[in-house]
Amino acid sequence: MKSTNTINLKNRPQGRPKLSDFEFTTTELPQLNEGEVLLKITYVSVDPYLRGRMMDAKSYIDPFELDQPIVSGCVAEVLESKSSNLKAGDFVTGMMEWKEYQVLNTDNLKKVDSDKAPLSAYLGILGMTGLTAYFGLTDIGKPKKGETLLVSGAAGAVGTVVGQIGKILGMRVVGIAGTDEKIELIKSEYGYDEGINYKTTDNMVQAIAKACPNGVDVYYDNVGGEISEAVLYNINKFSRTIVCGAISVYNKTELPKSTSVQPFLIKTSSSMQGFIIFDYKERHPEGIQQLAQWLQEGKLQYEETIQVGFETIPQAFIDLFDGKNKGKMLVKV
Ligand X SMILES: NC(=O)c1ccc[n+]([C@@H]2O[C@H](COP(=O)([O-])OP(=O)(O)OC[C@H]3O[C@@H](n4cnc5c(N)ncnc54)[C@H](OP(=O)(O)O)[C@@H]3O)[C@@H](O)[C@H]2O)c1
Measured distance CA(176)–CA(199) in Å, rounded? 10
The whole-angstrom separation of Cα 14 and Cα 91 is 36
Count of residues that bind ligand X according to CB under 6 A: 32
Using CB under 6 A, pick the residue from 96, 235, 277, 316 that binds ligand X. Answer: 277
Q: Which is nearer to ligand X, 92 or 185 (CB)?
A: 185
Q: What is the C-alpha separation between 197 and 179, in angstroms, rounded? A: 6
Stretch that binds ligand X, among 11-19, 127-135, 162-170, 310-318 (CB under 6 A): 127-135
Residue at 121: amino acid letter: A
Looking at 275, 284, 292, 301, which residue binds ligand X (CB under 6 A)? 275
Stretch that binds ligand X, among 25-33, 41-49, 206-214, 309-317 (CB under 6 A): 41-49
Residue 69 is a binding residue for ligand X (CB under 6 A): no
**According to CB under 6 A, which residues from 198 to 237 bind ligand X?**
222-223, 227
Quote the least distance from Cβ 243 to ligand X, whole Å: 8
Where helices occur in 212-276 by DSSP H, the ranges are: 225-232, 262-268
- The one-letter amino acid code at 116 reads K
Kindly give, in sequence order, each residue whose CB lies less than 8 Å from that of residue 68, ignoring residues fewer than 6 positions away: 8, 9
**Binding residue (CB under 6 A) for ligand X from 47, 90, 97, 303:** 47
Q: Which helix (H) or strand (E) holds 134?
A: helix 128-135
**Closer residue to ligand X in complex, CB, 227/230:** 227
Residue among 41, 43, 62, 66 nearest 53 (CA): 62
Binding residues for ligand X, per CB under 6 A?
Answer: 47-49, 128-129, 132, 153, 155-159, 177-179, 182, 222-223, 227, 244-248, 275-277, 320-321, 323, 325, 329
